[in-house]
Amino acid sequence: MASGTEDEFDPLADPEERRVIYSVLDSFALSAEGKAERAACYDPVLEALRAEFSHIPDPDKGELHVLVPGAGLGRLVMGICCVGFSVEGNEISYHQLMASNMILNDITRAEQYPLYPWALSSSNHVSRADQLQGVMIPDVHPAAALEEASIGKRMHASERMSMSAGDFCVVYKNAENSGVYNAVTTVFFIDTAPNLIAYIETIRNSNGRAQDQGIAEPGSMELTDDEVVALVERFGFKIEKHEVGKIATGYIQDPRSMLMNIYRPSFWVARKQ
């Protein structure tokens, strides 16, 4: 919806709003077809969280609080909750927040809605049928998954998952959020920073003593991966793990397309000093 007073209501979305809406509708990642992309990016994060907090028994992991800035449609948030942690997603985009709210709270069954992620892009298809290929979302019914994830846990998953709306740097840089989170995890978020130092300082503020970990997508940043990691260290973290080139994944990539865009994101785990 275009902005303006009620009298000026313009039913046509402006180009920027259309771009954001298309990116939300690209929620291909929520489908079964997007499973490989999710696994490539989220599994290393979940694995690192499990390893870091292996000394806490699974039923008690709800005592640990994980923050996920730039949560998008909330799939990583849900994954972390299913592992047993308490988790808070943060998202700046109302379009993403509305979509994640619908997916997480209003869906009544798996594969409830068809989505046509490539319908509006006419290039590089082998056939028109490929362009119009639909996927069903979500492949997992969140309420059922969260119910299952509550078995044997001290806290029900619904008490362990929340979302906050707003700019990460505004919401989490204050004293109220200082040291609150045992871990801060990001996937494809670092590269959205207009000012990376502000992101790092905010992560540092909100992180308690444990760790930060991330998968960055350095290709879309002006800083090189070495520079990102050097900045993270310069601002009070020790990099404990840093892998480049081990993960190769598309991001909302049509597996049938004649053009394959593959990211080789950098994965790192940093501990606050």
Ligand X SMILES: C[S@@+](CC[C@H](N)C(=O)[O-])C[C@H]1O[C@@H](n2cnc3c(N)ncnc32)[C@H](O)[C@@H]1O
The residues binding ligand X (CB under 6 A) are 69-72, 76, 90-93, 96, 167-169, 187-189, 192
Alpha-carbon distance 214 to 45, whole Å?
A: 7
Residues 263, 246: contact at Cβ < 8 Å? Answer: no
Of 131 and 218, the one with the shorter C-beta distance to ligand X is 218
DSSP 78-120: HHHHHHT-EEEEEE--HHHHHHHHIIIII--STT-EEE-TTTT
- At its nearest, how many Å lie between ligand X and the CB of residue 22? 13
Helix (H) or strand (E) segment spanning residue 46: helix 35-52
Residues 212, 240: contact at Cβ < 8 Å? Answer: no
- At its nearest, how many Å lie between ligand X and the CB of residue 54? 24
- At its nearest, how many Å lie between ligand X and the CB of residue 148? 22
Of 92 and 149, the one with the shorter C-beta distance to ligand X is 92
Q: What backbone torsions phi and psi does residue 177 show, to the nearest 5 degrees?
A: -100, 10
Of 49 and 131, the one with the shorter C-beta distance to ligand X is 49
Residues 30, 138: contact at Cβ < 8 Å? Answer: yes
Of 30 and 229, the one with the shorter C-beta distance to ligand X is 30
